[in-house]
Amino acid sequence: MSNKNATDKQGIIDGLNEDLAREYQAIIQYVVFSSSLKGAEYGDIAEELKLHASEELEHALEVAKQIDYLGGDPTVKSKEAGYSQDSKTMLEIDLKSEQETIRNYRDRIRQAESAGEYALSEKLRGIIAQEQDHEIDLKDALGLR
Ligand SMILES: [Fe+2]
Ligand SMILES: [Fe+2]
């Protein structure tokens, strides 16, 4: 392997580990917020957030597998989860996290494609489509659409 290839690969592994840490954070936030949202107006979104939690777990499993394929070690560290006692603030925290996640996956897709890792970029496109659905669900619940 040339030095450039090795550097590209290491950059992708490092980036994917940041993504994995964000997936852990998302799981924590969705588990906690789906069970503590208060108010009749948030009943539907609370159910939706439970589904998000399981999708984030699938993303974490997929990203960890991709890191392993590339010869890296999947991280055990989560990004710090946000918290609030206020239902609307919880949803705003989730929305901000999703938007940051989407930005980062876009970068990772570019990185993967410029390194010729097309199978990885395909997997990431599947994940980013779900993150975009999560963003829409949160915007709907917050009345932002
Ligand atoms: Fe995710
Ligand atoms: Fe998400």
Domains within the chain, CATH numbers bracketed: 3-141 (1.20.1260.10)
pLDDT tens digits along 1-21: 578 888 899 999 999 999 999
Sign of CA dihedral 19, 20, 23, 28: negative
C-alpha 36 – ligand 1 centre gap (Å): 20
C-alpha 14 – ligand 2 centre gap (Å): 20
User: pTM for the full model?
Assistant: 0.96
C-alpha 43 – ligand 1 centre gap (Å): 22
127 vs 44, 55, 64, 118, CA distance in Å? 23, 9, 13, 14
Specify the DSSP class assigned to residue 40. G
C-alpha 93 – ligand 1 centre gap (Å): 15
C-alpha 113 – ligand 2 centre gap (Å): 22
Closest CA relative to residue 56, chosen from 80, 11, 25: 25
pLDDT tens digits along 29-58: 999 999 999 888 898 999 999 999 999 999
